[in-house]
Structure 1
Amino acid sequence: MQLSNQDPLEPMSDTDFIAQMAQFSALEQMQALNGAFSSCQAYSLMGKNVLATVSDEAGGTAQIYGEVTGILRQNDTDYLQIGEYLVPQSAVSAIYDDDAMDAVIAQAANLVGKQIEAEVPATDGQDGPEKITGTVSAVLVKNGLLYAAVEDKEVPVAYINKIS
């Protein structure tokens, strides 16, 4: 019962009051436990490789892959440091162990010698996205992200939209 709904001539009984306080206390403890559990999940990702979806500068989305090197908790949200990105834990779509990382690199290595087309979002000083076509000469991992070397450019694998 709420205090504003009480009849002043018949106040809340001590038993009802104590029961209500116990409910509030239990709710508060469950919320604290939920926050602690969420942080525990985030810290368990330290050192692991993850795949996450992030917003890019052009307003679209891109997938990044990399090792979680740090955790930041802000406004009840846990953020993972992946390369140069600070990603909410909720954006993680897959967690890989070291063997899986080797498999991802091996799979990306199949791009070598293939003709690709990519559209890389605009950076400072560019009018629009950069369209890149060419043959992949190598696959690189920089800051935990996969790149395809195409002529003199390093193209994030996430921006490749055609392989032939």
Structure 2
Amino acid sequence: MTINIDPVTGLQNASLAPAKTGGSQDLSSVDFMKLIIAQMRNQNPLDPQSDTDFMAQMAQFEALNQSKAAAQTLKVLQGLGELGNAAGLIGKTITGRQVSAIGITRDSVARERFGAVYSLLSTNQKAEVNLDDRVQAAIADAENAGTEVTGIVDRVLVGPDGVPVLSVNGKVIDQFTISEVR
């Protein structure tokens, strides 16, 4: 399991790519206009809302959309900075903590995506995959998650969550766990 710490907010598992929630929590401009129309239809005819109230609501909604876009842009810029920092470590010797294991095969002890573990297999799945003993080394490696690793950074991987991690001798190191760079 990869643990990501956002360097700006200090939040765990914060992603550098803009998150697409797309759920019912996001209010689109179409939804907002539907609410305004419903509000206009259902207002008290003896005490109607003024046009300035509606314009103020629309201005507030637009300001909210602009601040969301600015936050997403800042998140992307932060991600590019993290990627640049990680790329600058290629060829350097670092010491950091292993955050996940890279197995020997695609279906090893844990399933991989972009070289990083994203889900552990159940006991039955492990037995099925291990029928030909392909994953014995991967089992030992998965148990090493969290151990300190020293070595030369050979590449930078960008995981499915968009966070760059470092590869040192086949081990995945989160750049925020680095304790030494030589």
Q: What TM-score results when the alignment is normalised by the length of structure 2? A: 0.44
Greater helix share, 1 or 2? 2
RCO higher in 1 or 2 (8 Å CA, sep ≥ 6)? 2
Greater strand share, 1 or 2? 1
